[in-house]
Structure 1
Amino acid sequence: ARQTVTTGTVGTDTEDELVTGTVETTSTVAATTTTKNYAREPVERIEKYILEYIHFCTQHMKKLAQSRIQLAKVQMEEYKALEDFEQIASPAQWSIHLVLKPKIKNWSTKNKNYQILSKRVELDMPRKFIEKFDFSFKVDESIISQDEAQATYNEMRQITKKFRIQAMKLHVQSAARENEILSNEIKGIVERFPQENDDGFDAEPGYAAFKQYHEL
């Protein structure tokens, strides 16, 4: 009888090793990538927090720089307007300007002080020479009871607090009055600024230039 021989593909040890090695390599790469992603996420979060912190801490510097730039632009416009006024002002107009200039500078300082004092009152932050006041004295508790002594100390603190409030209130009122007087004086000078021709000078262009300069 004829025998039938069945043939098939026989894998070698080398092929099995290659397949196994490929699977292991792929698994290792995937595991390494996953590990790197897990490690990267906390780093990215920390970087984000650091950037947010830097942005928060430098906001005031950005605002300060922007304010200085804006101030420089205003000062440049003011200087140019002053130059224009100086070129066309009549003698009388220029004399009034020289009288008015220090008053405006003084008003600017007084107004700034008034605003600061008002803010101090709002925040309950008296000036140092007022804050130093502290009305207190020692009560002999060998004679006075503890409760009565404590009531006396409490009254001392109330007197100190009332003094500070009244002192700051008076201080603000004085600053406001100074500001008001200077403002009215400047307003009166501006309203009486010469508009008539002076010794052959046409006063109208000078008056227009002065108004533009003063409004800046």
Structure 2
Amino acid sequence: MTESVPVADRPRVHVGLTGGIAAGKSAVARVLQERGALLVDSDALARLVLEKGTDGLAAVQDEFGDRVLSSDGELDRVALARIVFSDPQARQRLNRIVHPRIRAAARRIVAAAGPDAVVVQDVPLLVETGQQDAFDLVIVVEASLEERLRRMVEDRGMTPEDAQARIDAQATDEQRRAAADVVIVNDADLERLASVANQVWDRFLAPDAAEPSAD
């Protein structure tokens, strides 16, 4: 179910930023943050709600057992990923624990931002969790499958099999495009990607920009 911030608490512009793993979404997020947006990072919130001592981590332990904990009681993310990316039902069980907590934390940040803010929520699974209607503008970042796999293997040290499993667990490019107001194709270098992100800011998000609309 889509959960929105109450109208009275909404920022001036509320942006949903998403894209497949290793597409370049974080680089776009940094540019928008540098231009003045308040960035709400769902990956960072996911780490926060599963810290040692949280009810989120306790719920994960109850669901998956001590095998997902390190020797010091922290979440063993590698062990958990090994479980959930090889078993769609396990991934659904994890999502039912984590996603409501992430959304609740994000809502608190957005509500505190104020009516003059531009808030960009970096949500990797925005489409998969049906949140697109909660935003004024949805920006999708794309890169080719071959390039994403290369980055995951060469830059992140993943095996090709693990990289493909992560991609397969997410929405397709077509599904993300269907939810998008703006699509940024990351098919060049970081300088070009930053240039396009700045153009998006100037057109849709700057204080004197027109009201966000589908592009």
Q: Normalized against structure 1, the TM-score is what? A: 0.22
Larger radius of gyration: 1
Q: Which of the pair is proportionally richer in strand?
A: 2
Q: Normalized against structure 2, the TM-score is what? A: 0.22
